[in-house]
Structure 1
Amino acid sequence: MLSNTILIVVGGLPAAGKTTLSRLLAARIGAVHLRVDTIEQALVRSGLARHPVGPAGYVVGYALAEEYLRQGLPVIAESVNPLAVTRDSWRDAGTRAGVPVVEVEVICSDPAEHRQRVASRAVDLPDLPLPDWEEVRRREYEPWNREHVTLDTAGDGPRESLNSLLHRLDRLQLLPRR
């Protein structure tokens, strides 16, 4: 029997489709959607931090992920995850909780489509600063150095991307069963 508890770590550049995909996936499998942008905005609104927040949002995210996983809840942890150290820290949280971890890198391989997404997206968190195309292109983003699922959202709508991801996760036999 498959465990209902899993950590799915979703990363990728801004406007690749991470948040939309993570929300849809969380609703489909009954998981907690843990978004680092939400945590960082809460820190900024509290007066404890200013943008860029630095590692604080991620550190809070790791702790929350581990707590939810220990409660038996599946978690989708979503953030840019630009550095190997951030990816390692998510994996460590899952390992400490004793659950499987799947890493998903969301990309948009069509530069024109990606640029359009960056230019046209709306702020869904009050006062969240959104990067422009040049900031996205210049962003530090280390290559993923271990096995992970890569999901290219170029040319696909949110539902098609979700179905593709569900199919790939199902093949790994790690999807929570409801």
Structure 2
Amino acid sequence: MLIVMGGLPGTGKTTLARLLAARIGAVHLRVDTIEQAIVRSGLAQHPVGPAGYVVGYALAEEHLRQALTVIAESVNPLRVTRDAWRATAVGAGVSVLEVEVVCSDPAEHRLRVTSRSIDIPDLPLPGWQQVVDREYEPWERERVVVDTAGQSPRQSLDMLLRGLAPG
């Protein structure tokens, strides 16, 4: 299965993806990690553009063809990127589940964005105004929505696991 996790910076995507990967034994693909590796290679500068996503699609398909569950985590702000993740799952012959991570409390979201630490060396983190101004197209199809506002990471994971359970 391919689990596609998206949402604005600071909503808790990475924390949630890591917890879920550990819980279910999945591969966690983080587009930020891929993009920063491309920058370190000297082939590009930030913003990298579509290259990080294209590498992510290829890696996801490779792992999916090995019968591994993959959690693909990125901002995933555009319908075109969401469609490409879906096409990756179809190409590998597996099911796909989309997850949008949100933080509905603007004050909490802002605090997360402005106080988080860098966990990928030299990765530039966006400021609050960049997050607010970021292009982010509304999701128009079925997905699991996890609102991390006012919750611990474990509570958010429990909410996500309930959303992943067969209906």
Q: How would you bin the TM-score normalised by the shorter chain?
A: over 0.9
> Does residue 136 of the first structure (1) align with residue 131 of the second (2)?
yes
Match of 2:113 among 95, 111, 118: 118
Aligned residue number for residue 97 of structure 2: 102
After superposing on structure 2, the runs of 4+ consecutive aligned residues of structure 1 that deviate more than 3 Å are none
Residue equivalent to 1:148: 143
With normalisation by structure 2, the TM-score equals 0.99
Specify the alignment match of 1:3 in structure 2. none
Distance 2:166 2:160 in 1: 10
Q: Find the aligned partners of 1:83 and 1:164 in 2 and give their Cα distance.
A: 24
User: Unaligned regions of 5+ residues in structure 1, if any?
Assistant: 1-5, 173-178
**1:101-124 residue CA offsets vs partner (Å, 9 max, x unmatched):** 000000000000000000110000
What CA RMSD, in Å, does the superposition of the two structures yield over aligned residues?
Answer: 0.6
1:49 aligns with 2:44: yes
Structure 2 partner of 1:21: 16
- Percent identity between the two aligned chains: 74
- SS class of match (1:105): strand
Unaligned runs of 5+ in 2: none
Give the Cα–Cα distance (whole angstroms) in 2 for the partners of residues 147 and 159 of structure 1: 24
Q: CA deviation at 1:171?
A: 3.4
Question: Alignment length, in residue pairs?
Answer: 167
Q: Report the alpha carbon displacement of residue 168 of structure 1 after superposing the two structures with TM.
A: 1.3
